[in-house]
């Protein structure tokens, strides 16, 4: 019986190359999904902490950064050079 209807033109080396490419694509898909999960947890102010075999989510305190407004050199009014405190949640893409 001839079983080479589909695999007749697909040699072993080509099959191996396709299998390796599939594994590489799955590996990068896994990396991207883990990165997006960690980024979403970080943006929400939570951290995935592993303790032994137990994974728990704990709160991260929000940091604030002092940002000074841009003041042109021509205007030297001290009212315009005030600083405001805005919450800083960290980088958008955290890995």
* Residue 48 CB partners (closer than 8 Å, separation 6+): 37, 38, 41, 55, 57
Q: Has residue 58 been placed in a domain?
A: yes
Q: What is the pLDDT of residues 17-70, one digit of tens each?
A: 889 999 999 999 998 888 887 777 666 655 555 555 445 555 545 555 566 666
pLDDT at 16 over 60: yes
pLDDT of residue 85: 54
- Number of domains comprising the chain: 1
Residue 24: domain span: 12-88
Q: Has residue 95 been placed in a domain?
A: no
Q: Has residue 36 been placed in a domain?
A: yes
Model confidence, pTM: 0.35
């Amino acid at each position: 019986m001839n079983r080479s209807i589909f695999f007749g033109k697909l040699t072993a080396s080509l099959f191996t190359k396709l299998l390796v490419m599939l594994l590489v694509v799955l590996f990068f898909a896994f990396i991207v999904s883990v990165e997006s999960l960690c980024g979403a947890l970080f943006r929400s102010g939570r951290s995935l902490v592993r303790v032994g075999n137990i994974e728990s989510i704990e709160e991260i305190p929000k940091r604030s950064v002092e940002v000074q407004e841009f003041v042109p050199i021509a205007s030297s009014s001290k009212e315009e050079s005030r600083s405001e405190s805005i919450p800083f949640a960290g980088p958008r893409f955290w890995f």
